[in-house]
Chains A and B, each alone.
Chain A
Amino acid sequence: MSMNNQGRPTGIQNSDSAVPETVTGNRGLQIEEPLIFEQDSAGRCGVDLPEAPAVASRLGAVKPRGRIGLPGLAEPQVVRHYTRLSQKNYAIDSGLYPLGSCTMKHNPRLNEKMARLPGFADVHPLQPESTVQGALELMAELGRWLATLTGMAAVTLAPAAGAHGEMCGIMAIRSAHDAKGDTGRTKILVPESAHGTNPATAAACGYAVEAIPATEDGRVDLEALKAKLGPDVAGLMLTNPNTCGLFERDIVTIAEAVHAAGAYFYCDGANFNAIVGRVRPADLGIDVMHINLHKTFSTPHGGGGPGSGPVVFSESLAPYVPVPYVVQDKDGAFRLVEQAGDGPAFGRMKAFHGQMGMFVRALAYMMSHGADGLRQVANDAVLNANYLLARLQDVMTPSFEGPCMHECLFDDHFLKGTGVTTLDIAKALIDEGFHPMTMYFPLVVHGALLIEPTETESKASLDQFVTALRALAERAKSGDVAYFQGAPRLTPRRRLDETAAARKPVLRWSPAVEEEKVAAE
């Protein structure tokens, strides 16, 4: 018998490019994945635990619980489930993620490694202080970096995220007014362009929110602000650079006016990435500012958290910080102050001492860059945004004249009369392999498209994005509305019906819902 020497075909036999309907519904690497509850097999388990030793129950009078309804899967099934789900996500690891105001930059893996050192990850928050000196030292060192970078007098690491930091800042402002017996201040001024969290925070703290209009050039209307300042104003909440991606040129004058009225100046530090290492907020007259470690200092967003929102305070607000905080004794030992007592400190704002895992990552990031590298971060972030602005301004409509800071803002005037919307452009970008920009925010321009590339994008990546966006703008102007309205077509799911989701909310799986569905079919 002779050997079969034909071998497997190596050429391309058929160049038919149509996407086939498959039997499974899978499409190559895109695999349909049922809910974990639909993969249950009773008695199957993904862990091997010993059976509990026989003891007399000490549970007291409550009745032991019956079946919960959790699905049983073996470990390989669980691994496959979450791996397949992960493959339905876009991420900064996969490509450009230019969400304005979100600072989606590269997340270094060194930071992940450091946060998982047993000396940080496997330490209980209530261990005796003598056994956690390194953890307290790390918190003090992170605080020192943040205070130095901002030029501010005091830092709290307690808040769990940016909005929590805002709450902390407004509480400090309230405390300071209260300490002076100045209780007639019932308003917080917030520009129209602010993040939604700003008015939500001020209102949650019992303040009336007064909106400050923007000028034609995208900044706070100084005259309108001055007209609203008075003995009833507790403070101003301003984002700088603002959500239009612009530096508030009059910021020092604004700070002076706020202070002259006896109010405090809160800065939303969500956009600190634009100026880190180049400008110290203290030099602008700011009294209190939160910093999103998950933006400027690259702790991963994790699909929506966890974040961390340290707050820095000027000399005048420095006494009004929440507990706990770290102090260093004369002998060099670190100590936690956990009770507010009768002093000006207040709190607490959450359990334990803050988002330690995020502190480690942020400090690793800061040390990696150093003072020189952080300055370069701001330079490159601003350069990248201005480059996009320059390359797109003839086919799209910039809302304001540049230069911009770390993000560039366009409105939808370039789409006028085309029938194509900002949303359509975003969805078509998805088919081109990009995450869309922030849409319809800030609210001060029509159909906003807010683009923040960050400093960790290469020029080649920006050029590819520009090419795609320019082509889409041209295509929109050519009147190809159907193309846009059908987008995206190449994703695991196409446009989803959000109206139906809200009208009759289905917020969990349950056997009953499944039965209903079958009955309906």
Chain B
Amino acid sequence: MRYLPLTEADRRSMLEAIGVSSVDELFRDVPEAARLSGPIEGLSNHMGELEVDRALSAMAGKNLPAGSVPSFLGAGAYRHHIPATVDHLVQRGEFLTAYTPYQPEVSQGTLQVLFEFQTQVSLLTGMDVANASMYDGATACAEAVMMANRVTRRKKAVLSGGLHPHYRDTTTTDARFIGFETVAMPPAPNGGEDLLAEVDGDTSCVVVQNPDVFGHVRDYTELGKACQAKGALLIVVVTEAVSLGLLTPPGEMGADIVAAEGQSLGNALNFGGPYVGLFAVKEKLVRQMPGRLCGQTLDADGRRGFVLTLSTREQHIRREKATSNICTNAGLCALAFSIHLSLLGEEGFARLARLNHAKAVQLADKLAAVKGVEIVNGSFFNEFTVKLPKPAAHVVEELARRGILAGVPASRLFGGGLDDLLIVAATETNTESDMDAFATALAEVL
């Protein structure tokens, strides 16, 4: 077996050094009835690289890669061009195969990356401080609500109908088992929900999304002020990080906590994971944050260095009194995010955002020209909702057969209802001919 360095001679001499005659003796504490005498049945035996490659490539071959056809799916996962440099650097063994940086003297690479990542996330969101990442945007959202509960000592979260349903459901799952209340507003594809009416003396937070799941761009400044007046926190969710290159950041709208998905930068679609949750807060809330934090300090020779810090919030120190049970996070995805953003820089990031918006405007104009199609949105960034004269799920299946990945039916996201709505995204990866192919095929199936 190519991954196992011990030879039979090694094993014999090691058993001798231990003073036992066989490795089975080392398993003597296992109850006899539970000891298996040979390899577990029903599974194949070891294989060479070639055989594994062949078997898994065959499986991969049964999928339709989004990049092989015109593709317009978004709804929380976006296909962007990732510079070749990102994946090359991420695969350096010193990053890829290191553990959590618990020994800072031999982990300054990972730690400096995290410090830079925290800074980048703070800048993008317009917030004071960010942590070293969460699992994904949805779990970051749920953690943000629980943090708001701790901060305000209240137990009711009001969730906007524009919040991605997976984020809503992740939060309500926690609510059910952890014991807090959620008021989830019905989906509002045309806007017009009155969130403030739901805010009372028990409300810990209001959770909104920008752009929302239907693509609308919103200004939450007034909502933030009203929440503050009622003692509730404003949590702003962002599922498309690229939008932060063009839109007013949540921090400038008065957000207390930002929970975002960072997949768009540096991370492939990966059929939904692993992604990277971004979590940023106002300065005064730092000590209530979940997750790891990296901080700057000095070493014994007085040189600048970095360490994990404020770990008295965390499970390995505080155990049942921790702010969260999170341990492993999304370190390598955070690295990919950070490298991509470093390549883009101020100018590239703003340009990427402008390009995304322009592509979406072009697509909206082309789709609006198709008979029976209505653009629902008054405003959008790189994603918008269209109303179709037929059920969107059927249209999507039809278009998939024609080699076009047309978007996400709202009914799939929301588990029913909203049958005629299709959520469509455009990014810098979509060419004009992709868009024409989409519009033409859509006209044919409607």
Contact = CB atoms under 8 A, between A and B. Distances in A.
B388 to A, nearest CB: 16
A300 B96 contact: yes
Contact of A78 (B85, B245, B379): B85
Given A70-B123, A305-B331, A119 B60 contact: yes
A350 B380 CA distance: 25
Contacts of A354: 272-273
A104 interface: yes
Given A44-B345, A278-B36, A112 B91 contact: yes
A457 to B, nearest CB: 7
B152 interface: no
A200 B271 contact: no
Interface in A494-521: 494-498, 500-502, 505-510
Interface stretch (A10-18, A55-63, A310-318, A474-482): A55-63
B274 interface: yes
A351 B272 contact: yes
A126 B77 contact: yes
Contacts of B279: none
A471 interface: no
25 contacts: A36-B116, A46-B85, A47-B352, A49-B428, A52-B357, A88-B109, A99-B102, A114-B56, A118-B68, A119-B57, A119-B65, A127-B73, A131-B64, A164-B326, A301-B99, A355-B273, A356-B274, A369-B3, A426-B103, A456-B3, A459-B13, A491-B106, A492-B108, A496-B297, A496-B299
A79 interface: yes
Interface in B228-275: 244-249, 252, 261, 268-275
A322 to B, nearest CB: 7
Interface residues of B, number: 213
A20 interface: no
A494 B301 CA distance: 7
B60 A349 contact: no
Nearest to A139: B271
Contacts of B324: 200, 204
A204 B327 CA distance: 14
Given A120-B60, A351-B137, A498 B297 contact: yes
Contacts of B428: 49
A306 interface: yes
Nearest to A339: B415
Contacts of A216: none
Contact of A126 (B13, B105, B177, B412): B412
A306 B166 CA distance: 20
Chain A: interface residue count, which band? 35 or more
Contacts of A56: 361
Nearest to B408: A126
Contact of A459 (B10, B58, B270): B10
Interface string A84-116: 011111111110010100101011101011111
A306 B273 contact: yes
A457 B400 contact: no
B170 A350 contact: yes
Contact of B400 (A55, A128, A491): A128
Interface in B136-162: 136-139
B342 A196 contact: no
B207 to A, nearest CB: 14
B197 interface: no
Interface in A469-490: 486, 488
A324 B178 CA distance: 20
A9 B405 CA distance: 66
Contact of A46 (B95, B249, B342): B342
Given A300-B97, A301-B97, A505 B293 contact: yes
Interface string B1-39: 111111000110111011110010111111101111011
Contacts of A69: 123, 346
B361 A55 contact: yes
Interface in B196-219: 216-219
B330 A118 contact: no
Contact of B44 (A65, A367, A456): A367
Contacts of A145: 43
Interface string A120-133: 11111111101111
Interface stretch (A220-228, A245-253, A257-265, A409-417): A245-253
A171 B345 CA distance: 43
B309 interface: yes
Interface string A176-209: 0000000000000000000111011111111001
